[in-house]
Structure 1
Amino acid sequence: MSQDELLVLIYRKDEKAFTHLYDMYAKSLFSVISVLIKNTEDAEDVLQEVFVKIWKNIDSYNESKGRFYTWILNIARNTSIDKLRSKNFNNDQKNLSADNFVNLLEDSNKLVNKVDGIGIQEFIKRLKPKCIQIIDLLFFKGYTQQEAAEEMEIPLGTVKTHNRNCINDLRNYLKV
């Protein structure tokens, strides 16, 4: 089934479409979610929430604003960040044992591993070091632009400009 055929079925709320949607995108969305949400059970919960959001909000998808895959990736990323920032999630994390943090400490700064999760490692490597740092903070670690500015000790406007320019550079690399 093509993506266009799938979209038609989703718009019609055809139940078969949900299964196809899940089969086509669950693996890649789960890898994006698990970059931010380290606990597998929590990541699976977020994945389920993402598919429900896609299903319920399909009418807000606008093909002229971007590809469907990009739209659902943003839903996955934003839902993951919302989960990370939620009060309940933060309270639960305070109660975890030290064993749960071993992988977090080992992998926390390995952008290469995170980028592999969504398949754009080779393109990220082409970017300037500042761009790699900004993309890592904003997209893989879930920082807000304000938090990234504070972390990098540069003005907020500079982060916004760099982010826009870096994303444009990345788009140009992806077009080739």
Structure 2
Amino acid sequence: MSNQPDLLILKMQEGSEMAFSRVYERYNEALRGIIFAVVKDDAVAEEVLQDVFMKIWNNSSSYDVKQGRFFTWALNISRNAAIDHLRSKAHKNNLKNLSRDYFVNIPEDATDEMEVQTDSLGIMKWVNKLKPTCIKIIDLIFFKGFTFKDGAAELNIPEGTLKTRHRKCVNELRNVMGE
């Protein structure tokens, strides 16, 4: 494993716009896929992605290579920004103006969208190696943007239990990805 990405991140943290541009080129598609998986709208995903990269640039000094991978740090910023957008007043007001057709339930066996989104990130091959319980938890919390409270209600388990299982599943995913 090369330290080149770490050097690139270090240069960005030092204020190099060229390094930031390379970071954008390297990560924008994957981060956009994560955002889209939550917001389900191309234009909104693009808007949130721009906000995410502004946060990455403005907060790059808060990233510490000793705490984990840069991609994981950026991915969490992306996911949180997408969820924040869904919780925003502007988004809720926008939903009020949509027709009833927008809210048609997707059949439970329609997993293609998740598979396409995660395949484009190269994550699905690892997620599919997990236990079915972990796949469901990662889908709910990570890809669908559920809060732990909402996820616990969906799975009909206590919130604390979901948090513990989620942590174990994420660790299991890390192990699978590291193989």
| Same fold at TM > 0.5 | yes
Distance 2:85 2:143 in 1: 14
| Root-mean-square deviation (Å) | 2.3
Distance 1:114 1:154 in 2: 27
Alpha carbons 1:32, 1:117 under 8 Å: kept:
no
**Superposition deviation, residue 107 in structure 1:** 9.2
Q: Which residue of 2 aligns with 1:77?
A: 79
With over 3 angstroms needed to count, the CA separation of the structure-2 counterparts of 1:62 and 1:8, relative to structure 1, is: closer
Distance 2:27 2:109 in 1: 25
**Counterpart amino acid of 2:148?**
Q
Alpha carbons 1:33, 1:47 under 8 Å: kept:
yes
With over 3 angstroms needed to count, the CA separation of the structure-2 counterparts of 1:173 and 1:93, relative to structure 1, is: same
TM-score normalized by the length of structure 1: 0.89
With over 3 angstroms needed to count, the CA separation of the structure-2 counterparts of 1:46 and 1:148, relative to structure 1, is: same
Distance 2:103 2:23 in 1: 33
User: What stretches of structure 2 of length at least 5 have no aligned partner?
Assistant: none
**Counterpart amino acid of 2:69?**
R
Which of residues 56, 59, 83 in structure 2 aligns to 1:57? 59
Q: Which residue of 2 aligns with 1:92?
A: 94
**Percent identity between the aligned chains?**
45
Alpha carbons 1:35, 1:117 under 8 Å: kept:
no
**Superposition deviation, residue 73 in structure 1:** 0.8
User: What stretches of structure 1 of length at least 5 have no aligned partner?
Assistant: none
Runs (4 or more) in structure 1 with deviation over 3 Å come to 97-102, 104-109
Q: Secondary structure at the match of 2:19?
A: helix
Which of residues 157, 160, 164 in structure 1 aligns to 2:160? 157
**Superposition deviation, residue 96 in structure 1:** 2.4
Alpha carbons 2:49, 2:78 under 8 Å: kept:
yes
Distance 1:48 1:65 in 2: 25
With over 3 angstroms needed to count, the CA separation of the structure-2 counterparts of 1:34 and 1:106, relative to structure 1, is: farther
Q: Which residue of 2 aligns with 1:40?
A: 42
Distance 2:33 2:70 in 1: 17
Distance 2:40 2:54 in 1: 21
Distance 1:108 1:91 in 2: 30
Q: Secondary structure at the match of 2:121?
A: coil
TM-score normalized by the length of structure 2: 0.87
**Counterpart amino acid of 2:138?**
I
With over 3 angstroms needed to count, the CA separation of the structure-2 counterparts of 1:18 and 1:72, relative to structure 1, is: same
**Superposition deviation, residue 44 in structure 1:** 0.7
With over 3 angstroms needed to count, the CA separation of the structure-2 counterparts of 1:126 and 1:32, relative to structure 1, is: same
Which of residues 127, 136, 141 in structure 2 aligns to 1:138? 141
**Counterpart amino acid of 1:29?**
L
Q: Which residue of 1 aligns with 2:124?
A: 121
**Counterpart amino acid of 1:119?**
G
More displaced 10-residue stretch of structure 1: 43-52 or 119-128: 119-128
**Superposition deviation, residue 79 in structure 1:** 0.6
